[in-house]
Amino acid sequence: MTPEIQSQKSRALCELAPVIPVLVVGDAARAEGLATALVAGGLPVLEVTLRTPAALDVIRAMAKVPGGHVGAGTVLTPDDAKRARDAGASFAVAPGLTETLVRACDDIDLPLLPGAVTASEVMRAMEFGYRMLKFFPAEAAGGAKSLKSLAGPLPQVSFCPTGGVTPQNAPDYLSLPNVICVGGSWISPDAEVAAGNWSAIEARAREAASLRG
């Protein structure tokens, strides 16, 4: 799957909702309930970061939830990408971009949403064929103002900013012509996940789903 096709598929996923929940889940037993609540709240695209020992089991469980599209975040190596795909991930998200990772995702037909923050990094991604990118860490890299500046010389590239995105600043990002959606971790607080408070998480997901229109 070429980077051009990967970007088309990634963009199609990003267009499904204004927010992609970024999830760090340590207990796979909570995965199905969490995914069900998020999808019911109008957020069908979920990013499960590979930052816990349970992450692959979480992806396996969430991939079974009807209406959901589960991807793996913090994908750093070809092995990460393969394990994520084998667990049921339908896309991968990386904080940056390497040629090795690009080739691996091409070989295993896994759409990759790679990260970039500088004009040079964006141009390098474009050389590979990517037109849909992650902007990370968004707030630390200048926030909405930086993304707005990139839209001038690089209008053909679209972004999903993550890192420091909140309900308060998300509208600033979503108002930009080169932003398709944002990624955020505020929708599923650890305490509510641990308690299985799915109704509260679903309500928060509904609020996030309404951020754009």
pLDDT per position as a tens digit, 66-94: 999 999 999 999 999 999 999 999 999 99
Catalytic center residues: 47, 134
Residue 71: closest CA among 27, 5, 6, 126: 6
Q: Is the pLDDT of residue 2 over 80?
A: yes
Q: Is 127 exposed, middle or buried (0-12, 13-18, 19+ CB in 10 A)?
A: exposed
E strands, the chain, in order:
19-23, 45-49, 69-73, 91-93, 112-113, 132-135, 158-161, 182-184
- What is the phi/psi pair of residue 120, to 5°? -65, -40
Band of residue 212 on the pLDDT scale cut at 50, 70, 90: confident
Tokens representing 5 are 């096709």
Q: Is the pLDDT of residue 213 over 80?
A: no
Give per-residue pLDDT as tens, 3-60: 999 999 999 999 999 999 999 999 999 999 999 999 999 999 999 999 999 999 999 9
Q: Is the pLDDT of residue 182 over 60?
A: yes
3-state secondary structure of 164: coil
Going along the chain from its start, the domains and CATH numbers come out as 3-205 (3.20.20.70)
Give per-residue pLDDT as tens, 93-149: 999 999 999 999 999 999 999 999 999 999 999 999 999 999 999 999 999 999 999
Q: Cα–Cα distances in Å, from 50 out to 63, 84, 176, 183? A: 15, 9, 29, 15
Percent of the chain predicted with pLDDT > 70? 100
